[in-house]
Structure formats: structure tokens, C-alpha cells
Structure 1
Amino acid sequence: MRDFAAGLGFLFKGQRWVARHGRWWGFGMIPALITLVGYVAALTALVVWSGDLADWASPFADHWGSPWQGLLRGTLAAAVIGLGALLSIVTFTAVTLLVGQPFYESLCATVDESEGDAPAVPDLPFWREMLVSARDSLSVLVRVAGFGVLLFLGGFVPAVGQTVVPVLGFCVSGYFLTVELTAVALQRRRVPQRERLRLLRSRLGLALGFGVPLVLMFLVPFLTVLAMPGAVAGATLLARELVPGTDADDAGEPEEQDAADAPAVGDDGTARLTK
């Protein structure tokens, strides 16, 4: 519970940071707004065609009587819309980060510098950073799709599908949303995706405390745009908690032996320990 509260605290700290730096907040809303327009159009189309998708997926119910045919296809249509909403919540962040990659890199660096002990900028060309980000986002999407299928099937279980499954859906969305948002800051610290996932699993309460409230905020379309810059700033602060005292110049390098503890070399070329 303490970790959950800490994660929520990082979310609010990020929003406060961008509120104090209005220029970053304004520019940060532009990629989110562009992405939002595309997603609203896609979800609208999904809602309009959900009934046809339900009919296509259940040809065996063509000759069912009322009310069973309506109940089945209504449930299928609702499940399709719910799955689309789940995927949109998670993938929205990934797409927004790709659209606004140069900006969010700068925002992350500025937050790091304002807090001190900022890592060095990775020496990678822009196209390479985009490729790595796209690959990592696709990997996350595959994982989300796997959980989405399980949750979709769980939705048909009586009672559980209407109570436990929605809660699990929010938790899954919140966790992977945190994975996506912290990716920018953790990539700057040269932490590979497999290790990022391990870090966030080890601090699951922290990840859920940051991500789940953000998922709820993202359910309101315009609030998504307003919250996105602060979410990136807060995720940077959270990454500093996961990997504290980072100096990217030393990342992955073996620690040098302290000179005070190093063996002294005698005149004969042999090592002798000093006190």
C-alpha cells in the first residue's frame, strides 16, 4: 500500500512539475492531441461496427430465439468495444511517445537536469532511437494483447466477468502504461526492456499506483491530452526512484578498485597488501 501511494505521489509530482514549467506543458499536449484525434476516429468506427462484428463472430446464433441471441451478441459487441478501449488506453501512450519522441526526450532530460544527477545522453542516432522505441512498444503491445484475450474470455464467466475482470483490466492497463511512460527515462539510463519489466514487477505497487489512476484519467479524452506531459515528467521521477544515483557514463562499466584498497607493488615486482 505504501508503494501504491508513492506511485500516486510521483504522478502528482509530474503534474506539478509541468504546471511550474508552462512552456513544456503546452508543447507536450500537441503530440497527445494529434494522437487523440486518430484514436477517437478509430474507436467511433469500432462502436459503429461492433454489432456487425458480433454478428460475424456468432453465425451459430442466427436461428436462436429471443432473448438469447440479443444477449449473446450484445455481450460480444460490448466485449469488442471493451477490448478496443483497453488496447487504446495502453497503445495511446506508445503512439504518442513515438509521435512526440524528440519533444519527450527533451522533456525527460530537462526533468532529470532540474533534479540533479542526470545521466549522459545516449550516443545513438535519432533513427536508431525511433527503431528501439518502436520495437519495445510492439513487444509491450503483444503482451497486452495476450492479457486482453484472457480478460476477454474471462468476461464470459458469470459474476467474475462483471467484477474481477474489469479490476484486473485496469491493473494490467496501469502496469503497462507505466512500462511505456518510464521507457524514455530508463532508456536514457541504458536499461534494456527486459530489465525495465523486471524492475517494475519488483515494485508492482509503485507501478500500479502510478499507472492505474492515470488509466482512469485517460478515460476522459481531453484530460488525456492535459495529463500527458505531466505523466512523462512523473514517469521520469519514478525512473529515478527505480534506478537512483545513475551516471550513464558509468553504466555497465565494472567498478574500479579503490586506490586505497589496491595492492601496492614492491621493488621486486610482487604485490603486497597495505593496511
Structure 2
Amino acid sequence: MRDFGVGFGYLVQGQKWVARHGRQFGFGLLPGLVTLVLYAGALVGLGFGADDLVAWATPFADDWSSPWLGLFRNALTALVFVFGLFLAVITFTAVTLLIGQPFYESLSEDVDRSEGGDVPESGHPLWRELWISARDSLRVVLRVALYGVLLFACGFIPVVGQTVVPALGFCVSGFFLAEELTAVALQRRGVELRERLTLLRGRRGVALGFGVPLTLAFLVPFVAVFLMPGAVAGATLMVRDLRGEQGDRAEDAEENDQEGGNLSSPGGDQGVYRIPLRKDHS
């Protein structure tokens, strides 16, 4: 639970960072707005067509008597829409990051710069960055789709399907959402997808603490758009600590602490307060 709280702390820190840097926040909203319009249209279409899709996919139930036919197809219709919403939450971040690649990469660099020390750059041209991002996002979405199919099938299990499965679904969504967001900073550092997943699995609680609350928040219309810039900023701060990177401001804070001074607080002039991470991977 401690790691979960640490991950949530990075999410809060990221929102505070963009609140202090209004220009980056404004630019970071644009890709989310475009993606939101596209996804809203897709979900509305799914809402109107899900019942027809279920009826087409279950012709064997046409002769069932009432009320079993209605109960069966209504349950399937609800599951189809939930599955579509599940995929929308996961792919929303990937599509938004792809559309807003230049905006979010610049925002992540500004976070690194504000923390002091080196500001990693991939050195790739924009088209190469977009290709890598699209390729890795597709690989992540395929993983999520596999989990989604398994969870969808488990949803038919009585009791478990209505309690445990939704909770597992949010955990899966949260973990991969954290991966997508940390990819902005890690891709600039030349870290490949396999290494990124290994890094997050080593601190799974931190990843879930960052991603699960964000997944829940993304279910509320328009919230995802406003949280995306801060989520990218928070993910960059998390990456710096998970990799043990320490900027000039963090070093100064440690020196002050050793001399009996106070650690800087979020929003202060000395940078963002660092939540300490345990060295073990338990």
C-alpha cells in the first residue's frame, strides 16, 4: 500500500507542476481535445449499435423464451459496451500521445530541465519518434486486448465476474496506462519497451498507484483531457526517481537536509519534493 501511495503522489505532483506552468498546460490540452471528439463519436456509435451487434452474434438465442432472451442479450450488450470503454481508456492515452508527440515531449523535457541536471534527448527526427511511439503503442494495445478478452470471458463467471474481474480490469488498465505515460520520458532516454515494462514491474505498486486513479478519473468525460498534461509531467518525475536520476535541485535539497534545513515543498522555489523510494523490489 505504501508504494501505491507513492505512485499517487507522483500523479499529484505532476498536476501541481503544470498548474505552475500554464503555457505547457494550455498546449497539452489540444491533443486530448482532438482525441476526445474522436472517441466520443465512436462510443456513441457503439452505444447505438451494440444491441444489433449482439443480436447478430447470437442467432442461436432467437428461439429462446422470454425473459431469458432479453436478459441474456442485455447482459451481453452491457459487456460489449464495457469492453469498448475499457479499450477506449487504454487506447485514449496512446492515441493522444501519438497526436501530441511534439507537445508532450517538449513538456517532459521542461520537467527534466526544471529539476536540474541533464535533459535527455533521443536525437531522432520527428517522423522516427512517431514511428517508434506508434509501434510500441500497438504492441501495448495488443497486450491489453489479450487481457481484455480473458477478462471479458471471466465476466460470465457468477459473482466473480461482477466483483473481482472489474477490479482486475482497472489494475490492468492502470498498469499499462502508466507504461504509456512514462514512455514519453523513457523513449527520450533510449529505453525500449521491454526494459520499460521490466522497470515498472519491479515497482508494480508505484505503477498501479499512478495509473489506477488516473484510469478511474478518465472514465469521467473531459477529465482525461485536463489531466493529461499533468499526467505526463508526473510520469516524468516518476521516471527520474525510478531510474535514480538526481538533478541539481534535488542535490541541493539533500545538502540542506543534511545541514538541518527543511526539504522543499511542492510548489516552492526549490523544485518538487521527492517521495523516497525503497531500494528493494519487494
TM-score by structure 2 length? 0.86
Instruction: Find the counterpart in structure 2 of residue 176 from structure 1.
Output: 176
Partners of 2:142 and 2:241 in 1: CA distance: 27
Identical positions, percent: 62
Distance (Å, rounded) in 1 between the aligned partners of 2:216 and 2:206: 16
The residue aligned with 1:91 is 91
| Counterpart contact for 2:109–2:120, Cα < 8 Å | no
Please name the residue that 1:157 is paired with. Answer: 157
Amino acid at match of 2:55: D
Superposed, which structure 2 residues align to 1:1-275 within 5 Å?
1-245=1-245
- Alpha-carbon distance between aligned partners in 2 of 1:227 and 1:119, rounded to the nearest angstrom: 24
Structure 1: which 5+ residue stretches go unaligned?
A: 248-275
Shift of 1:246: 7.5
Q: Deviations over 1:129-160 (max 9, x none)?
A: 11000000000000000000001001100000
CA distance in 1, matches of 2:106, 2:183: 14
Aligned amino acid, residue 85 of structure 2: A
RMSD: 1.1
Aligned partners of 1:189 and 1:246 also within 8 Å:
no
Superposed displacement of residue 245, structure 1? 2.1
* Equivalent residue, structure 2, for 1:254: none
Is the 1:119–1:188 contact (alpha carbons within 8 Å) kept by the matching residues of 2? no
Q: Report how many residues are paired.
A: 247
Distance (whole Å) between structure 2 residues aligned to residue 75 and residue 118 of structure 1: 53
Structure 1 residue 26, shift from structure 2 partner? 1.1
Partner of 1:267: none
Separation in 2, partners of 1:187, 1:160:
38
- Matches of 2:96 and 2:222, distance apart in 1: 14
The CA distance in 1 between the partners of 2:13 and 2:246, in whole Å, is 20
| CA deviation vs aligned residue, 1:44-75 (integer Å, no higher than 9, x gap) | 00010010011011110000001111111111
SS in 2 for 1:221: coil
Counterpart residue identity of residue 225, structure 2: V
* Alignment partners' CA distance in 1, 2:196 and 2:57: 38
Contact 1:119–1:189 at 8 Å: present in 2 too? no
CA distance in 1, matches of 2:134, 2:224: 21
1:149-206 Cα deviation digits (max 9, x unpaired): 0010011000000000000010000000000000010111111100100111111100
Report the structure number with the largest CA radius of gyration: 1
Which sections of structure 2, spanning at least 5 residues, go unmatched? 248-282
Secondary structure of the residue aligned to 2:158 is coil
Aligned mates of 1:60, 1:124 — CA distance in 2: 54
Contact 1:109 1:118 in 2 (8 A): no
Q: Which runs of 4+ in 1 moved over 3 A?
A: none
Q: Which amino acid aligns with 1:80?
A: V
TM-score w.r.t. length of structure 1: 0.88
